[in-house]
């Protein structure tokens, strides 16, 4: 029987010190001793990317893009070497590979490259030699052999892309939380870790502000049919497994996105502004209606420079999104829950299996607790079925 | 007319801060503006290699050799990127290349690799595109594509090897002293900077303790017929040019080597001990006679472990070497100069165009001043010819 192949990804906090790297090595050795072939993707040690970026910005506030990639990619080179050394010290054969050595080929978009292709033959050969493979996350090379980086958070993308290319049995994202929660546990104390989440729900939660996984990683894993598992480096449990095509639960989670701006514009200029945004590389979060749209707060300044004349006003807002098969039918009931608590919903928008509420930032924690209690905590206790309970 | 090609090498101190890197960039731009094609080789920022080595040794006191190379080579990757960014910020097109990207192919001896071959086609193509090329010193790749390092001081080796492969018109080693001196100026205040030094004299001075250039760099430059120039990054002058096949001066320099041990051994065991040393990778500095040999102080412990039974005693000593065409004829006169000053010479040995004196460490500064005064400072003032003055 062919051994299972597992890709494990460890982020900056997991790789943040020699002690932590030792803990990482123990996770890897456990997977190897369980009879798996193991490929590991690592981020730079926490703080290192910022340190390097700080050096670059002492040189130039907008550093040369090609050279910034050369600079930043050194961060993962350090952490992967330290991990391979640690495994070696513990008696296991390990081999580190840069993005280039792992044949991760990207387009030429420095600082924000996209993986085009991974030639896995070298990795597979090393796996056949019983090696543990450590690959630098966040980096690749373009067709000229120049170093490229995938942008921040790119190590998850590297891991998922490698898992897809290697047809891995599971891609494990180790992080500092121990799974996917029904809401941010710092906001909602009763938030629960989800044992299993289906891909469409996870995608919608990631899109609407859940920070545990980057949206493109979820999308790639879904597309490549690689089961994703989110686990904690520092807390041994099964984490959350993301798999499956169909949205499974009436309400599985409540996502929070802060730091948005609701921009009011001259009526009928929305389309023109949307085009400006595309040219500026500013992503429009949502078009609310013909005279207002939702942007990330930090994109506003850019937009103001270009089309101040079309902007009438702006307001800081946050977005609360309820995800699940029942979400689209909860608008009225939600409004009944929030209105008596003096929570004004500025705008409601529906997507497939989700409902998003735009509100003032200082209401969002309270609103998240009210909706999470009603649709998840209480509902579970009551064997909740929203249609029956609230709509029927 | 084809433009001159200059290879410039900047060490760790030169690359030690963003401010210093700016000074380095100005040297490069000056060479470029003078109409040269410029290839630059850089070391890691000062302190960085030690920082990385410290991390490795927290993992393992003898870290995995392959992974140590991966780790340490990240140091030059950082400095080369910062330099290329600085040049770019100053309006010059520059491109950084790792050892692998520059096609510097070495043998597989991790941590102490030897350059086998450099395929310069990529560098030449970039030079034709008017780029300034920044190459990471101290590193290459072996035939498997694994990163290798050349050992400490290897950036000089990289620069000279690149200059040879590119048939450069000059290889400029920028450092924190402004040239080759007739003796260490910290010891002999009247030591003079030498405008020109021939290769055989420079080789002998480097072999016998002059620190300004590494011996293998001098040998490679001589063999490849690349003129070497030693200059200061922080002090603009012409430095010292090393070129020419023939030893030119009666006495051109006095070299000092500290930290040696004179080991007395059981008579006729010298050859056996020499073989032990080879097996241990301990280099024997000199065989003094059939019952004593000269070692670097820090090699003694290794030797003691293996053949304690053959060792009779040891003594810390230093070595003073007079280099020049007349050196071989100065033994008697030297003894006349040193004896009245209570300087005991334990042993005298002759090589082609040099005379080396073994003495106690606390005599060496005084002896260096006496011989430098007699054979260089005074001699120059008197239009010195040693045969005439002392021997004839």
Q: Give the model's pLDDT for residue B153.
A: 65
pLDDT at residue A14 tops 60? yes
What's the mean pLDDT in A105-122?
A: 95
Q: How confident is the model at residue A258 (pLDDT cuts 50, 70, 90)?
A: very high
Digit-coded pLDDT (tens) for A153-168? 689 999 999 999 999 9
What's the full length of chain A, in residues?
A: 392
B381 contacts: CB under 8 Å, gap ≥ 6: none
pLDDT at residue B76 tops 80? yes
Digit-coded pLDDT (tens) for A72-96? 999 999 999 999 999 999 999 999 9
What's the mean pLDDT in A169-190?
A: 95
B18 closest CB neighbour out of A58, A71, A82 = A58
Strands (E) across chain A are located at 5-10, 37-42, 94-97, 104-106, 115-118, 132-136, 139-141, 147-149, 170-175, 196-197, 228-232, 235-242, 253-265, 284-289, 292-296, 311-323, 345-351, 354-359
pLDDT at residue A390 tops 60? no
Preferred mutation among B72, B82, B83 to probe A, highest tally of A CBs within 10 A = B82
- Nearest residue in A to B96, CA atom: A67
B85: which chain A residues are within 8 Å (Cβ-Cβ)?
56, 59-60, 63-64, 67-68, 71
Main-chain dihedrals φ then ψ at residue B380, nearest 5 degrees: -65, -45
Residue A5 CA to residue B157 CA, distance in Å, equals 43
> Rounded to the nearest 5 degrees, what angle is found at the Cα of B252, between the Cα atoms of B248 and B258?
140
Q: Give the model's pLDDT for residue B376.
A: 93
Q: Give the model's pLDDT for residue B128.
A: 96
Counts for chain B of helices (H) and strands (E), in that order: 13, 18
How many CA atoms, within 13 angstroms, populate the side-chain half-sphere of residue B219? 6
H-helix segments, chain B: 18-33, 48-59, 65-89, 121-128, 154-165, 199-207, 215-224, 270-280, 300-307, 331-338, 364-372, 378-381, 386
Q: How confident is the model at residue B379 (pLDDT cuts 50, 70, 90)?
A: confident
Q: Give the model's pLDDT for residue B390.
A: 43
Instruction: Determine contact: B307 vs chain A, CB below 8 A.
Output: no
Instruction: Determine contact: A67 vs chain B, CB below 8 A.
Output: yes
Q: Give the model's pLDDT for residue B336.
A: 93
- Nearest residue in A to B68, CA atom: A81
Superfamily grouping for domain B253-391: VC0802-like (3.30.2130.10)
What's the mean pLDDT in A172-199?
A: 95
Instruction: Note whether A59 contacts B85, CB cutoff 8 Å.
Output: yes
A253-391 and A5-176 share a CATH fold: no
CATH code of A5-176, in short, is 3.40.1160.10
Residue A324 CA to residue A329 CA, distance in Å, equals 10
Digit-coded pLDDT (tens) for A196-220? 999 999 999 999 999 899 888 999 9
Q: Give the model's pLDDT for residue B24.
A: 98
What's the mean pLDDT in A271-281?
A: 83
pLDDT at residue B383 tops 70? no
Q: How confident is the model at residue A381 (pLDDT cuts 50, 70, 90)?
A: low
Residue A130 CA to residue A125 CA, distance in Å, equals 9
Instruction: Determine contact: B73 vs chain A, CB below 8 A.
Output: yes
Average predicted confidence (pLDDT) for chain A: 92
User: What residue spans define the domains of chain B?
Assistant: 5-176, 253-391
Instruction: Note whether A59 contacts B21, CB cutoff 8 Å.
Output: yes
Counts for chain A of helices (H) and strands (E), in that order: 13, 18
Q: Give the model's pLDDT for residue A300.
A: 85
Instruction: Note whether A74 contacts B86, CB cutoff 8 Å.
Output: no
Q: Give the model's pLDDT for residue A153.
A: 65
Among A284, A247, A254, CA closest to A357:
A254
């Amino acid at each position: 029987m062919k051994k299972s192949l597992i890709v494990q990804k460890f982020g900056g906090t997991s790789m943040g010190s020699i002690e932590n790297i030792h803990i990482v090595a123990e996770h890897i050795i456990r997977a190897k001793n369980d009879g798996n072939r193991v490929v590991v993707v690592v981020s730079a040690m926490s703080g290192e990317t910022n340190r390097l970026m700080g050096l670059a910005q002492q040189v130039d506030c907008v550093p040369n893009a090609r050279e910034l990639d050369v600079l930043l990619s050194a961060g993962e080179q350090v952490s992967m070497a330290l991990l391979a050394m640690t495994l070696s010290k513990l008696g296991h054969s390990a081999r580190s590979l840069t993005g280039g050595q792992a044949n991760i080929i990207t387009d030429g978009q420095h600082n924000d490259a996209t993986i085009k292709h991974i030639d896995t033959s070298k990795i597979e050969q090393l796996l056949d030699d019983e090696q543990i493979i450590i690959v630098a996350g966040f980096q690749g090379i373009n067709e000229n052999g120049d170093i490229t980086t995938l942008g921040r958070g790119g190590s998850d993308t590297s891991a998922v892309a490698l898992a897809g290319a290697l047809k891995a049995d599971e891609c494990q994202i180790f992080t500092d939380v121990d799974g996917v929660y029904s809401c941010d546990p710092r906001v909602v104390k009763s938030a629960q870790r989800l044992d299993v989440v289906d891909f469409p729900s996870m995608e919608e939660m990631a899109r609407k502000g859940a920070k545990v996984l980057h949206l493109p990683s979820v999308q790639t894993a879904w597309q490549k049919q690689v089961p994703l598992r989110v686990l904690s480096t520092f807390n041994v449990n099964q984490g959350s497994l993301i798999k499956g095509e169909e949205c499974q639960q009436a309400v599985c989670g409540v996502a929070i996105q802060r730091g948005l701006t609701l921009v009011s514009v001259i009526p009928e200029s929305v389309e023109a502004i949307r085009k400006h945004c595309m040219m500026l590389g500013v992503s429009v979060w949502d078009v609310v209606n013909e005279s207002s749209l939702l942007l990330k707060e930090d994109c506003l300044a850019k937009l103001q420079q270009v089309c101040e004349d079309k902007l009438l006003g702006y307001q800081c807002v946050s977005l609360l999104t309820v995800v699940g098969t029942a979400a689209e039918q909860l608008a009225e009931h939600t409004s009944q829950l929030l209105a008596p608590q003096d929570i004004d919903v500025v705008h409601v928008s529906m997507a497939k299996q989700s409902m998003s509420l735009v509100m003032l930032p200082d209401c969002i924690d309270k609103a998240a607790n009210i909706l999470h209690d009603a649709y998840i905590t209480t509902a579970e206790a009551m064997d909740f079925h929203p249609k029956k309970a609230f709509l029927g």
